[in-house]
Amino acid sequence: MPQIKQVTLVTNQTFDPTRCRHYTNGVTTVLHCHHYASLYTQLADDATLFDGKTILRNTAENSFYGVLQNYMVDQKISRREDRVAAVEQYWAWCGMGELNICDANQNNGRAEMTSSHVDAGWIKKWGKRDEPVNFITQGYLAAAWSVIWDTPMNTWQATETQCLVSGAPKSVFTIGRK
């Protein structure tokens, strides 16, 4: 029996003219460009002395866990398939690309992206490269699995095994317990 994704992402967007801030579902939200995302990613990638890639992944996990967890609670989304749909839709709403969670079970999982802000931005700025660059989505998926399966943060890790930035037709992430 195929899963039917029924939820539609709810985004309540407001602007506070006093503070000049934009909020999405109560969270301060900003627009940035692929130059910014690419340079932050490059900084994380270059920072081998103190494992910048893990810092970027963990920062993403920490930030998006709160966003996703609060969203599921506020919208009263409890079914796993609906949580999966919300996770996919939120990433597209952010402009981060088309995320397809192919398998979300409580021991591991798999996700794919056929378009990715980080990969497309990196290619536009610097061209292709052999190694993965989408540490932000890796952190996002770790957060997503915690929210989907009601586990604490820092339970999951996502590994990018195939990537658009290298010329593959899609990025592939495997998710497992740490």
| Binding site residues, other proteins, CB under 8 A | 13, 15, 17, 19-22, 24, 27-37, 39-40, 43-44, 47, 49-52, 55-56, 58-60, 62-64, 67, 91-99, 114-115, 117, 120-121, 124
Name which of 1 and 49 has its Cβ closer to other proteins: 49
Q: Residue 93 Cβ, how far from other proteins at the closest point, in Å? A: 6
Show Cβ contacts of residue 103 under 8 Å, excluding neighbours closer than 6 positions. 109, 110
CA distance 87 to 113: 13
Residue 23: count of CB within 10 angstroms of its CB = 14
Name which of 53 and 83 has its Cβ closer to other proteins: 53
CA distance 94 to 30: 10
Q: Residue 40 Cβ, how far from other proteins at the closest point, in Å? A: 6
CA distance 42 to 56: 10
Name which of 51 and 108 has its Cβ closer to other proteins: 51
Q: Residue 107 Cβ, how far from other proteins at the closest point, in Å? A: 27
Name which of 2 and 17 has its Cβ closer to other proteins: 17
| Cα three-residue angle 92-93-99, rounded to 5 degrees | 15
Q: Residue 15 Cβ, how far from other proteins at the closest point, in Å? A: 5
CA 32 to chain centre: 15
